[in-house]
Amino acid sequence: MIENQPERHKQNTAASVRSVHRPDAVEQQAAEWLVQQDAADWSEEKQREFERWLGSAPGHASAYRHVRKTWQALGQLIDAPELYDSGLGQRHTPPRQEVPPYPYPAPARPMQAGEGAHVPGGGRAGPGSIRFFRQGSRSTITWFASFGMLMLLAVVFLVLPQGAQNPLIALRADYLTKPGELKAIALPDGSLMELDGNSAIAIGYDGRQRQVRLLHGQAWFHPRPVVPAGGAAGAEERPFVVAADNGHTRALGTQFIVQKKRNAVLVAGIEHQVRVSLDQAAGPVTLLPGQAVQYGADGFGPVVAADVDLAQAWRKGRLVFEHEELRDVVATLNRYSKRPIVLRGGEAVARRSFSGVFPSADPERIIQVMERELGLKSLRTPLAIFIYS
């Protein structure tokens, strides 16, 4: 379906707990127990009450384990530098203690009287289990006293900075897509565009040029051709230009693709020619069909051959990786995954090579292949997927 009117996107989320039999209610109870265990007034009586709650229903132990793992993973996540690329304020790292690596070790012995409860795969539950967040004040404990607060914190540090859904991008966008959504758009002058998943553009047409700014992601363009002055009535005389970061791509023919990558912008010629220029560079680069170039803060990279079919594979629902670094693969997957994917493990993991052809509608399958072929592991939480070695 082709859309022909700019749109602004607003998202509102709300959740309520109406029954203790709902899984989210049980998890909230588990989160409240987890926070109370770190309070100064935790007593043997409360410990016994917690143990009774833990054994009162089959799902309580698994809910407590899930909340504890999510909370501890969030503590590690807050230190992840890749989550601060959006410029949402200054980074703040709360003091915290080291936590066991996941998966968590099984208990070494049965629980003794007065000790914290052992939960399956969760180690010992008791005072200090979430101390990496604790400042020692009752106000801090109260603030994080529900699972809802935990989820809100995860949204602030994880969900909002992701791509086209980042409010700083969404508020500027005339068109944007959700992860996994492809959108065909007719621009005001009759030019055509296809927007990849988790992508956003802003339109800046005026009397001198038809400018489209790619804010995030990737797009294919088929501009209406320019007719020289004095042509037929209503002919288009303004150049068609796509701006991205510190560069501009001007159409000299018909089809081309512009993609914002992790630290660069990639331009690929599909039909006829395009001219790419930088804000501060000696001269432009002209691409023929089947050629591509990357540019960034350090200028142009080399002009390379580009397979036209592979460059457009995403338009047909396929993702093609040819010896790509794992961090670039994850960046691509985040245009399709409903949950943000976070790669942990530093440069040693981020620079590993990955290849394959996959359906774009199934990011989970690609993660499974990574685990099998690269020896990686994954942790799935309600709001994110963590990949680590």
Q: Is-contact 74 154, C-beta < 8 A?
A: yes
One-letter amino acid identity for 16? S
For the entire predicted model, the pTM comes to 0.63
Amino acid residing at 297 = A
pLDDT band at 185 (very low <50, low <70, confident <90, very high): very high
What is the dotted CATH code of the domain comprising 317-388? 3.55.50.30
Q: What is the pLDDT of residues 134-145, one digit of tens each?
A: 444 444 444 444
pLDDT of 318: 95
**Identity at 290, one-letter amino acid code:** G
Distance CA 247, CA 184 (A): 24
Q: What's the mean per-residue pLDDT of the chain?
A: 75
Q: Which fold has domain 164-312?
A: Jelly Rolls (2.60.120)
Give per-residue pLDDT as tens, 14-62. 333 233 333 457 777 877 777 677 665 678 888 888 889 888 888 888 8
Burial-class residue 194 by CB neighbours within 10 Å (0-12, 13-18, 19+): buried
Name which of 194, 192, 184 is nearest 222 in CA terms: 192
Residue 227: alpha-carbon gap to chain centroid? 41
DSSP β-ladder status, 117-119 and 299-300: unpaired
Q: Provide the pLDDT confidence category of residue 71 given band limits of 50, 70 and 90.
A: low
d(C-alpha 345, C-alpha 75), whole Å = 15
The domains of the chain are located at: 23-161, 164-312, 317-388
Q: 261-314: per-residue pLDDT in tens?
A: 988 999 999 999 999 999 887 789 999 999 999 999 889 999 999 999 999 999
Give the mean pLDDT of 92-109.
36
